[in-house]
Amino acid sequence: MKVPVRIVFYPLARGLAMLEAGQADGIFTIKKNPEREARFLFPVRPLLSQDYVIFVRKDSNITFDGDLKSLEHLSIGVLNKSSYGPVFDGAVQTGLFTKLEVANSHEGNFLKLLAHRMDAVVCSRVVGIALLKRLNAEDAAVVTGPVLESAPSYLMFNRQLVSPELVRRFDVTLAAMQDDGTLADIEKKYPR
């Protein structure tokens, strides 16, 4: 698109606050919901689809069978202000989990998991695997059970700072990258 961009990594809650305050033009990866769609601009196309899974220590006897009730008494790490899709988020809202541990970073959750300070972590598979590699702990934790949810994730823009035309151009560019295989080539670098 030939648009200069500066990417800075922040905890999700801080990034959202910066976007709302007009200190950032956009944030990724974010799931759409009615509140966000009313306040921010979204492209039509998602950047990617994320599979949310349960990570446990490799030496754990915890096995997720697809029924969230089987996790209700475990200490589970989640990211502050993050959505894991309607099924998991709905279980959180009903109070199913008695030991939910909210952190400002996925890395913090994985460090607690590896130190035996929590039982499980909910995270996208790609992010979790990348973090475990970075922590030199690829063999210390595994995914248990089926995918909780696959959710499209978007780049979300500040409505006051970014024009709808720029968002439309982003969609056109993303579509071209999907059509010519550029996105598939990028995804191949990150095993699922």
pLDDT tens-digit readout, 115-156: 999 999 999 998 899 899 999 999 999 999 999 999 888 999
pLDDT at 172 over 60: yes
Distance separating alpha carbons of residues 45 and 73, to the nearest angstrom: 37
pLDDT on residue 50: 86
List % helix, strand, coil for the chain (3-state, nearest 5): 35, 25, 40
CATH topology for 12-48+151-188 is: D-Maltodextrin-Binding Protein; domain 2 (3.40.190)
- With tokens 């490799």, the residue in question is 58
Residue (of 4, 42, 43, 29) closest to 177 by Cα position: 43
Determine the Cα angle at 7 with ends 141 and 143, to 5°: 15
Distance separating alpha carbons of residues 63 and 84, to the nearest angstrom: 19
pLDDT on residue 148: 92
Domain ranges of the chain: 12-48+151-188, 51-148
- With tokens 């200069």, the residue in question is 4
| 90: CB partners within 8 A, 6+ apart | none
**What are the residue ranges of helices labelled H in 3-162?**
12-20, 34-39, 86-93, 106-114, 125-134
Grouping H, G, I as helix, E, B as strand and the rest as coil, residue 152 is: strand
pLDDT at 81 over 90: no
pLDDT at 86 over 90: no
pLDDT at 101 over 90: yes
- With tokens 């759409």, the residue in question is 32
Report the CATH number of the 51-148 domain: 3.40.190.10
Both tokens of 33, joined, read 């919901």
Q: What is the mean pLDDT of the chain?
A: 92
- Cis ω before 29 (30° cut-off from 0): yes
Helices and strands counted in the chain (H then E): 7, 7
pLDDT on residue 147: 95
pLDDT on residue 33: 83
Please classify residue 185 by burial: count the beta carbons closer than 10 Å to its beta carbon, then call 0-12 exposed, 13-18 middle and 19+ buried: exposed
